[in-house]
Amino acid sequence: MGCIFCKIVNNEVPSNKVYEDDLVLAFDDVQPLAPVHTIVIPKKHYSGINDLDDREIWFAMLRAAQEVAKRKGVDQSGYRLVINSGEHGTQIVKHLHLHILGGRQLESSLG
C-alpha cells in the first residue's frame, strides 16, 4: 500500500512520535502550520472521517489529542483540533488524521 501514514505506523518511514497506544499514533507534522502541529492517526487504515465506524478508535484519537496537548504544553493556553475531509476539505493524505494546532494565537476566521 502506498499510504504514507500506514508506512509511518509500520516504521517504514521515520517520524517524530509524540504518543502511541494500541489503536493510534501521534507524530509531529513535517510541514507545521503552528509551533505545535501534531497529527493523530488510527493505526488501522481509514480513508477519511466518513469511513470511521469504530467508536473505540474515535475516542482513542480524542484521548491521544488530550495527551498530546498536555505533552506539548498547550492544554491550558488552548489549541485547535482539525479533521480535513475530501478534496474540498483539503484532505491531502487519504488516511484519517486529526491535526492538533497550538503554541500561538490562531486566526479565528474559517476562511
Of 37, 95, 97, 99, which one is the catalytic site residue? 97
Q: Are 39 and 102 in contact, with CB atoms under 8 Å apart? A: no
Q: Which residues contact 69 (CB under 8 A, 6 or more apart)?
A: 75, 79, 100, 102
**Among all chains, which residue has been given the C-alpha cell 517504514?**
12
For the question of residue 45 being annotated catalytic, the response is no
CA nearest neighbour of 31 among 107, 81, 93 = 93
Per-residue b or e along 12-41, where b marks 16 or more CB atoms closer than 10 Å to that residue's CB: eeebeebbeeebbbbbbbeeeebebbbbbb
> Which residues belong to the active site?
97
